[in-house]
Amino acid sequence: MANENNDTTLAAELAKLRAELAEYKKAKKEIDDTETADLSLDAFYESIKHIAKVSGMCAEDGAKWKITHEIFEKTKTIEIGNRKLMAGPTEYAHLFKSAFGLWLPYELTKKPEKNEKPRWIKFQTWLEERVDEYVEPDECTEWIECDIILSALASFDVTEDKEAWNDTTKNVECMLKTSAEGNDYYCIKTGQMAALMKAKNITTPIGNFGKALIKRNLKREKNHKIRIGTKRPDAWWFRCGPIDELRGNGGGRGVRSTITDVEQHCLDTDEVY
């Protein structure tokens, strides 16, 4: 009898455990289905809470979209260039899946029926009609980062000696002052410019950054070479005026003479060297 009672008890406990496991699996499946279910088209549109359209630095750059979604109490902003948005849903689907772990609604990406306007084009029209904020270039990251670099350059030394400027064993925080086409420029070597952008955590790609500087008339259009004997280092040519204004406000260390510190000391003291 004792053995029979033990067997009955074990069977009951086993049945209870199986029931609890089944309930757990059912609840987990419901959670998983909720988190991985495709959004309906209506739910997708309702998830869009803010639309910003950022103007391009130049006409060829095109605009950039910043579209904020709120899904399952998670808020993320999708940033996408207008050209990629127009190309089709692929890039947006990638960014959306990365942000929320969800696919775009099938109705939004499916191939249209004959004579039917693609829903992806309808989506773009819908965005254009509901833009919450238009952002001009002077409010963009690119322009803010231009000011960061100009402020950094204002603290650099300046020399008119090309050899001294090109000497990598000397102070790298030094610009060459020179003239071209009736304008005065401060020049910084291309490699030095890239290093400065990295040091200042500039996020704008260097090509777009150059365009932003040109658009603001802060930089010569091309990175012309500097002739130094047989050497021809590439350089960024910055207009002196804007940097001089910053230097006048406390930045910069002044134009360095081509004479050495020893020579200057001798001039000041009438000593012979």
| Tens-place pLDDT, residues 53-65 | 988 765 556 788 9
1 lies in some domain: no
189 lies in some domain: yes
76 φ/ψ angles, rounded to the nearest 5 degrees? -140, 150
Task: Yes or no: say if 219 and 213 are a contact pair by the CB < 8 Å rule.
Answer: yes
Alpha-carbon distance values, 234 to 39, 188, 237 (Å): 52, 9, 10
Burial of 87-116, coded b for 16+ CB within 10 Å and e otherwise, reads: eebeebeebbeeebebebbeebbeeeeeee
Calculated CA dihedral for residues 206, 211, 217, 219, nearest 10 degrees: 40
Question: In DSSP terms, which residues pair with 228 in a beta bridge?
Answer: 231
Same domain, 76 and 131: yes
Same domain, 151 and 190: yes
14 lies in some domain: no
Same domain, 119 and 239: no
Same domain, 85 and 157: no
pLDDT of residue 190: 92
Last residue in a domain, options 95, 112, 135: 135
Same domain, 95 and 182: no
Same domain, 205 and 247: yes
What angle, 0 to 180 degrees and rounded to 10, lies between the N-to-C axes of helices 190-199 and 141-153?
Answer: 110
pLDDT of residue 70: 97
DSSP annotation of 74 reads E
Answer yes or no: pTM beyond 0.85.
no
161 lies in some domain: yes
- What length does the chain have? 273
pLDDT of residue 257: 36
52 lies in some domain: yes
38 φ/ψ angles, rounded to the nearest 5 degrees? -70, 145
Same domain, 80 and 158: no
10 lies in some domain: no
Same domain, 183 and 87: no
Same domain, 113 and 163: no
Task: Yes or no: say if 80 and 95 are a contact pair by the CB < 8 Å rule.
Answer: yes
Q: How far apart are CA 64 and CA 91, in angstroms?
A: 13
Q: How far apart are CA 58 and CA 143, in angstroms?
A: 13
Regions in the chain scoring below 70 on pLDDT: 1-7, 17, 20-21, 23-37, 57-61, 137-139, 171, 249-273
Same domain, 148 and 249: yes
Residue with tokens 């940033």: 79
Q: State which H helix or E strand residue 144 sits in.
A: helix 141-153
Tell which phi-psi region holds residue 88, choosing left (phi > 0), alpha (psi between -120 and 50) or beta: left
At 104, list the tokens. 């775009």
Q: How far apart are CA 159 and CA 176, in angstroms?
A: 5
- Give the domain extent around 72: 41-135
Question: In DSSP terms, which residues pair with 188 in a beta bridge?
Answer: 236
Same domain, 230 and 151: yes
- State how many domains the chain has: 2
Last residue in a domain, options 74, 102, 135: 135
pLDDT of residue 252: 46
pLDDT of residue 212: 86
Same domain, 129 and 168: no
231 lies in some domain: yes
Last residue in a domain, options 135, 159, 177: 135
258 lies in some domain: yes
DSSP annotation of 228 reads B
Give the pLDDT confidence of 215-270 residue by residue, as tens digits: 888 999 989 999 998 889 999 999 999 999 998 754 444 443 333 443 344 334 44
Burial of 156-165, coded b for 16+ CB within 10 Å and e otherwise, reads: bbbbeebebb
